[in-house]
Amino acid sequence: MDHTGSNSQPKVVAVIPARYASSRLPGKALLPIAGRPLILWVAERAGAAHSVSRVIVATDDPRVFDAVGTAGFEARMTRADHASGTDRVAEVARDLEAEIIVNVQGDEPLIDPQTIDRAVNALLSDPDAQMATTCEPIGGVDDVSSAAVVKVIVDDNGYARNFSRNPIPFPKQAVSEHGSIEAALGAEPGLLFSFKKHTGLYVYRRDFLLEFASWPQTDLERRESLEQLRALERGVRIKVVEAASPSIGVDTEDDLERVRALVEREARAVV
């Protein structure tokens, strides 16, 4: 079964890290959405990107491996002791001849294939960048304050300047005037437009990915629990492009129910 995009470039491979274990939502890769495991939705979306010629699910669990293979997608078994999804992707990338590796998060069943294409094309067209990632507008005041929502600052040339779980850029003057960031955003809603939500799609030049995965963690990376800071601290240029449409990372039961409702609504609209 062919799950690759049309007009694809042979040098671009999407690798989807998919553990079975999850502290907040165990077994989420196989949880059903409209009768199909979540991971199959991710693989199908990745394969629909025109820039992607091959999709591989990288997992440490035979249940995920079997579900993916039975559906006609490609899967690879990886070590179980990886510290991050990027390390799992790098293990698979070592045996690939691709020039570009796309790290598609295994819990993004609604990722837009056009978002993948935007990030791939941004990296291919910029020889100064070693990796690319994506962002979305911040949805509301709660997202600005939430440590679960990663914020990114992008410079005038489209490169990441900083990532943080804290509100960045911090509107110091408005907060001083109104007493808190929540009050500042309530009084000045336009401040929301200064924030960008980082979304976890990554595109790497393969050789850089293998080098990056060999670097030790930095103190700032450990404090923020954001591995992209490891690259940024070493002066790596990370191109940031806006996602074609919002996506939902499935981390909780509430996230899962939101995705299920959206998929069912789309199915009814088609009928």
The domain that holds 105 is classified in CATH as 3.90.550.10
Is residue 188 in a domain? no
How many domains in the chain?
Answer: 1
Parent domain of 86 = 12-136+198-266
Q: Which two tokens stand for residue 226?
A: 């954001």
Average pLDDT over residues 5-11: 52
What are the tens digits of pLDDT across the range 202-254? Answer: 999 999 999 999 999 999 999 999 999 999 999 999 999 999 999 889 988 99
Is residue 144 in a domain? no
Q: What is the 3-state secondary structure (H, E, C) of 130-176?
A: CEEEEEEECCCHHHHHCCCCCEEEECCCCEEEEEECCCCCCCHHHHH
Beta strands in the chain (DSSP E): 12-18, 32-33, 36-37, 54-59, 74-77, 100-103, 131-137, 151-154, 160-164, 196-205, 238-242
Q: Name which of 193, 194, 238 is nearest 103 in CA terms.
A: 238
Is residue 261 in a domain? yes
pLDDT band for position 271 (cuts 50, 70, 90): low
Is residue 143 in a domain? no
pLDDT at residue 8 tops 70:
no
Is residue 95 in a domain? yes
Is residue 250 in a domain? yes
Is residue 100 in a domain? yes
Average pLDDT over residues 60-78: 97
Is residue 151 in a domain? no
Q: What is the pLDDT of residue 270?
A: 61
pLDDT at residue 2 tops 60:
no
What are the tens digits of pLDDT across the range 162-188? Answer: 999 999 999 999 999 999 999 999 999
Average pLDDT over residues 58-65: 96
Q: What is the pLDDT of residue 140?
A: 86
